Amino acid sequence: MSAPASSPDRSKLAVVVLISGRGSNMEAILAASDAPDYPARVVGVVSNRPDAAGLATAQARGIPVRVVNHKDFPAGEAGRAPFDAALAEAVDSFSPGLVVLAGFMRILTPGFVTRYEGRLVNIHPSLLPSFPGLHTHRRALDEGVRVHGCTVHFVTAQLDHGPIILQAAVPVLDGDSEATLSARVLAEEHRIYPRAVAWFAQDRLRVEAGRVRVAGSPTTAVAAFHSPGGA
């Protein structure tokens, strides 16, 4: 007789990941969750694009997926609220404790953000508040900055703002292109996003006067910053 399949560890925080494409940050979180002591588990993946490559990645791991195709809704402002209502229904079907945006290329309505306030996080490819929005690497190169990076933050109704949980910095090198700089930043995204999710799952994050404090760290400044080669 074959052994029964192992059941999910209900002591771990249930996480839903929202993606629009490959979901490489989702993959990083999944890889981290393979460790027995990682305190979170991905219970569902939702995409606004039926052709998102990350859906196959999730399914290969036996993770349920949902698609809420934004093209099934009216274009522009008229479709935003109905889309977000359907998205929330899909997310809530998994009963998550945390919702993680991992390359989810939709601007969420204030109503959706409020629904998941305090348990909705995003990663952005810049050192916020610098370079919110799109084309961050091109803009960093155009501005001639010498340090660039990425930011994990709680999501608020203001685009690419919200209390900062963790940042990682990389140097901008002479001769960098958008592609080389993007690759350097993406490697750091893959390092810090699983860490930030773990901190949330361990109930170590406190927002005080708009700032995130990480409980149990020697100093918040050190805990909230990561550089290549750092701990």
Residue 10: pLDDT over 90 = no
Enter the tokens of residue 46: 């939702």
CA 138 to chain centre: 21
Task: Tell me, yes or no, if the two domains 12-116 and 122-231 fold the same way.
Answer: yes
pLDDT at 216: 84
Residue 47: pLDDT over 60 = yes
**Percent of the chain scoring above 70 in pLDDT:** 90
This prediction has a pTM of 0.91
Q: Domain 12-116 has what CATH class?
A: alpha beta
Active site residues: 124
Enter the tokens of residue 3: 């052994």
Q: What is the mean pLDDT of the chain?
A: 93
Compare 67 and 223 and report the one with higher pLDDT.
Answer: 67
The dihedrals phi and psi of 72, each to the nearest 5 degrees, come to: -80, 0
Alpha carbon distance 126, 133 (integer Å): 9
CATH 3.40.50.170: does it fit domain 122-231? Answer: yes
What is the number of other CB atoms lying within 10 angstroms of the CB of residue 142?
9
What's the pLDDT band for 2 if we cut at 50, 70, 90? Answer: very low
Question: Hey, where are the domains in the chain?
Answer: 12-116, 122-231
Find out whether 20 and 103 touch, Cβ atoms under 8 Å: yes
**Percent of the chain scoring above 90 in pLDDT:** 88
